[in-house]
A and B are shown apart, each in its own frame.
Chain A
């Protein structure tokens, strides 16, 4: 089995649905950080069968938990300091998400209006439905 070492300070994002780690890597813009990032794919998991894990060695204030909550609020966020887990941050579905997803409705004003932020608003917490703030098009979360 492959072993990836501990990190000293940063986060471990655990219980990522297998295959989703790269998408999360891009949405969190980890490619723009000048720090060590380990992407572990298809790790064995008792709970999930297999899962992805992201280890990010960076300042703990760099992570946008809203984006992560939006993508998958079942991910476990472990905060690491001095090589130990010091906190687990709960993820919730954010009320609003800005410039993470583009509205795909060709009739939406966002398709022509320049500089307009793409905003999705949580319209049904129970069913986890987001809708475009402008045209109310339902977001298909499978496309994330």
Chain B
């Protein structure tokens, strides 16, 4: 029995199989409509996360399965002090697979070690959110046609953003991927990541202004720059516009560059960009459902 704790749990070859399956699901949805009939997904969400939970639920319902669970810790036995290891033993009797979101880092791993059903980490604090990374990889692979030989710009809060860190770790396993890190000085990508890139001989550069690198990018992964991350108001006011993507900045980009964003977007991508064919962030949400469907089938070992 397999679980998914980190995006690196699957080898690139296994990910290829997963993404092939997701691609087949995308083009042949009716074929999979009854694949999980009689199966139940437990969505155990110890903290609210509407989009991730609904994406998992949508994935299971698309496969003909059913869904049960809770959407915050107050409506679970955790509020009575039950341990994660006890909860998963109980959930294992009710469902065939579990997606767990927990504010404590490593909680899904504890669950997996006591579970008799596959456990998917649906986000554990600031630690891992593997299905977001799988979503990002599938989106790139589907829309770019490859997971190699491109330049990706990662823009915004690169210091605290776990989605960015996970995506970097996942992408370094593919050849020819170059990184451009675009962030204010305060929110630079952590040293341990740049050290890892140097050790692996992966090409990267760090810049402060988004405009400078736009013409060189094949992909732009936007994240939000939060005001509270800055040391002072003055720096925030000075820098915030550098990280807002608008039509003017899009005009500098290649005609086939894609814009991704893990969402929710606040104001870092101007709504005027939404109608640009290069804006792929809502398609990305749809790929999130496909990849979760493929993941559920893979972990339940269901062949269609």
Contact = CB atoms under 8 A, between A and B. Distances in A.
Note whether A and B form a binding pair.
yes
Interface of A: 105, 107-116, 132-137
B83 A110 contact: no
A73 to B, nearest CB: 23
| Nearest 3 Cβ contacts at the A-B interface | A134-B106, A135-B105, A109-B106
Interface residues of B, number: 15
A134 B83 contact: no
Contacts of B124: 109, 135
A134 B105 contact: yes
Contacts of B83: 113-115
A120 B81 CA distance: 26
A11 to B, nearest CB: 35
Nearest to A126: B199
Given A113-B110, A134-B107, 6 more contacts: A108-B105, A109-B102, A110-B106, A113-B85, A113-B104, A133-B106
Interface of B: 83-85, 102-107, 109-110, 124-127
A107 B125 contact: yes
A86 B109 CA distance: 45
Contacts of B107: 109, 113, 134
A107 B103 contact: yes
Nearest to A136: B127
A110 to B, nearest CB: 7
Contact of B110 (A105, A116, A137): A116
A112 B107 CA distance: 10
B105 to A, nearest CB: 4
A132 B105 CA distance: 10
A46 to B, nearest CB: 36
B4 to A, nearest CB: 16
A109 B103 CA distance: 9
A144 B105 CA distance: 23
15 contacts: A107-B103, A109-B84, A109-B104, A109-B110, A111-B104, A113-B107, A134-B105, A134-B106, A134-B107, A134-B109, A134-B110, A135-B104, A135-B105, A136-B127, A137-B105
Contacts of A136: 105-106, 127
A105 B85 contact: no
B84 A113 contact: yes
